């Protein structure tokens, strides 16, 4: 690690060298030789210390943020301790299920120290896998019966069982990380978010500027130098906000400061995300084809033959229901509601078709991630009366409140809205990624200007 640190490369390149160069060379000797888990944990702490410095996060940054596979922000790093335990389990399973009878009966003991026993971990993993066979496939969230398929322990061969045990060892390690995260007040706040996960690949990391990546990691785990954190760390005597004098938590600085709200900082961030959303919907609106009504015909088939499957449209969504959509976007107060009913409300995006009498409302919010559900309910209630008045005028209406967390974590409402409007697959994923990056960049700019008394949004924010 010291040699990698002396290369003079940027931090993210050093991290890549560790993940793809050093770590694979360590897993083999750790699996073969009798090295205690305490020694490996010491090596892991050294690795964590270097990774934190290379990524630009403070020493207090939890290792959960580096290696977790269930957190809201997942990095492409692998824990040395986890690879050590998986390697020892693989060794035990290889000896235990060997085709050579003498190897199976040799009685080889895999020693890992007193703190963790590889043989006991394998027994626990096998016991949990057998128990899962008894329980069967259970529903998770809104999944229906038969949505997922689980591999059964009793119907698998030797190689598959070896892989299942290793996966179960990794799952146990992840459970330990989740337990620690729930106990953490600040760095475990992401366990209460009702947003989608973000998986940062190496391709994503290459595109990040060092300062932007640093902001993302620190903001997700609340280790940015906010006034409250600086006071907690003993660096400043006063934990109050510079602009308004209230308690300067990260939530306050980026979403709740009245001075920043009055100056239009949060409105500017909202408009930055809204501009991206409007561009996505405008491209989709212009890409629509004319609606063609198909003639209903009867298709005859001979006896004994199957009915041929008719082709379906590649795209289906609300925008496919008309070919004369008009769109208005409420940027800088320049939009107006269509002449359907009289109202003072101005939704962020309005799409309407006079020929088909259909109206779509899209209302964007960039809230604190823990308040996405409340924001969605508030925006639905806000336009409920307006939708009822439009229905009375024989206009079919839809309301789509969408939430993109200020750190770039879109809520499920974003995915549902884009799907309802006709975006699917890779096109939808790219659209969600654009919205996430827009919110993240704008919040980073708001954070940089947190101590300036005047607010002048510039092109440099991009």
Q: What is the pLDDT of residues 208-232, one digit of tens each?
A: 998 999 999 999 999 999 999 999 9
Rounded to 10 degrees, what is the CA torsion of 193, 195, 201, 206? -90
Strand ranges, E, within 177-239: 198-199
**Residues 450, 451, 454, CA angle at the centre, nearest 5°?**
90
Minimum mean pLDDT range among 23-27, 44-48, 147-151 = 147-151
When pLDDT is cut at 50, 70 and 90, the band that residue 107 belongs to is confident
> Does 246 map to a domain?
no
Q: Are residues 61 and 154 in the same domain?
A: yes
Q: Quick: pLDDT tens for 167-193.
A: 999 999 999 999 999 998 889 999 988
What gap in Å lies between CA 30 and CA 7, rounded to an integer? Answer: 26
The pTM score is 0.85
* CATH number of the domain that residue 343 is part of: 3.40.91
User: Which DSSP helix (H) or strand (E) runs through 122?
Assistant: helix 118-135
Q: What is the pLDDT of residue 144?
A: 72
Give the model's pLDDT for residue 86. Answer: 94
Give, to the nearest 10 degrees, the angle between helix 80-96 and helix 23-32.
40
Q: What is the pLDDT of residue 175?
A: 94
Is residue 243 in a domain? no
Q: Is residue 370 part of a domain?
A: yes
Core vs surface per residue 94-116: b (16+ CB within 10 A) or e: ebbeeeeeeeeeeeeebebeeeb
Arithmetic mean of pLDDT, 106-126: 89
Number of Cβ within a 10 Å radius of residue 280: 20
Same domain, 271 and 143: no
Segments forming the whole domain that contains residue 368:
265-288+315-461
What is the share, in percent, of the chain residues with pLDDT greater than 70? Answer: 93
**Residue 296 covered by a domain:** no
CA 138 – CA 132 distance, rounded (Å): 10
Out of 126-140, 283-297, 357-371, 390-404, least confident range = 283-297
* Domain-located, residue 200: no
pLDDT(454) > 90: no
pLDDT at 296: 59
Do the Cβ atoms of 447 and 253 come closer than 8 Å? yes
Element (H, E) at 349: strand 349-353
Provide the number of structural domains found in the chain.
2
Q: What is the b/e burial string over 190-199, where b = at least 16 CB atoms within 10 angstroms of the residue's CB?
A: beebbbeebe
Residues 6+ apart with CB under 8 A from 142: none
Q: What is the mean pLDDT of residues 58-85?
A: 94
Averaged pLDDT for residues 337-343: 86
Q: Identify whether 228 is part of a domain.
A: no
Residue 55 above 90 pLDDT? yes
> Minimum mean pLDDT among 94-103, 115-124, 434-443: which range?
94-103
Residue 247 located in a structural domain:
no
pLDDT beyond 70 at 355: yes
On whether both 184 and 273 belong to a single domain, the answer is: no
């Amino acid at each position: 690690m010291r040699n990698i640190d002396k290369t003079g490369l940027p931090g993210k390149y050093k991290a890549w060298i560790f993940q793809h160069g050093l770590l694979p060379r360590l897993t083999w000797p750790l699996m073969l030789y009798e090295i205690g888990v305490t020694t490996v944990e010491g090596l892991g702490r050294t690795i964590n210390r270097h990774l934190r410095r290379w990524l630009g996060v403070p020493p207090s940054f939890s290792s959960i943020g580096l290696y977790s596979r269930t957190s809201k922000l997942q990095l492409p790093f692998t824990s040395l301790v986890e690879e050590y335990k998986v390697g020892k389990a693989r060794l035990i399973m290889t000896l235990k299920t060997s085709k050579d009878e003498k190897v199976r009966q040799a009685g080889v003991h895999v020693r890992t120290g007193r703190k963790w026993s590889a043989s006991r971990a394998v027994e626990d993993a096998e016991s949990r896998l057998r128990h899962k066979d008894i329980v069967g496939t259970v529903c998770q969230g809104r999944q229906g019966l038969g949505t997922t398929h689980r591999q059964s322990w009793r119907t698998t061969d030797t190689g598959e069982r070896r892989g299942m045990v290793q996966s179960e060892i990794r799952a146990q390690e992840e459970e330990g990380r989740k337990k620690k995260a729930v106990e953490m007040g600040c760095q475990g706040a992401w366990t209460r978010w009702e947003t989608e996960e973000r998986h940062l690949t190496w391709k994503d990391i290459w595109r990040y500027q060092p300062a932007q990546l640093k902001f993302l990691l620190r903001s997700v785990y609340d280790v940015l130098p906010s006034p409250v954190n600086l006071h907690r760390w003993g660096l400043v005597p006063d934990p109050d906000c510079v602009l308004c004098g209230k308690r300067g938590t990260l939530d306050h600085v980026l979403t709740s400061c009245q001075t920043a709200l009055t100056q239009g900082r949060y409105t500017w961030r909202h408009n930055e995300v809204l501009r991206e959303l409007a561009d996505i919907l405008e491209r989709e609106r212009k890409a629509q084809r004319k609606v063609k009504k198909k003639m209903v015909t009867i298709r005859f088939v001979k006896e004994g033959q199957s009915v041929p499957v008719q082709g379906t449209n590649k795209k289906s969504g609300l925008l496919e229901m008309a070919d004369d959509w008009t769109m208005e976007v409420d940027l800088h107060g320049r939009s107006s509601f269509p002449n359907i009913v009289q109202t003072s409300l101005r939704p962020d995006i309005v799409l309407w078709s006079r020929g088909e009498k259909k109206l779509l409302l899209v209302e964007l919010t960039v809230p604190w991630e823990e308040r996405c559900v409340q924001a969605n309910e508030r925006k639905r209630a806000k336009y409920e009366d307006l939708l009822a008045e439009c229905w009375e005028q024989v206009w079919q209406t839809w309301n789509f409140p969408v939430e993109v967390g200020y750190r770039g974590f879109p809520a499920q409402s974003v995915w549902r809205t884009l799907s309802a409007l006709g975006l699917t697959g890779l096109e939808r994923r790219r659209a969600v990624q654009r919205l996430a990056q827009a919110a993240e960049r704008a919040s980073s700019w708001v954070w940089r200007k947190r101590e300036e008394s005047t607010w002048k949004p510039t092109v440099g924010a991009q």
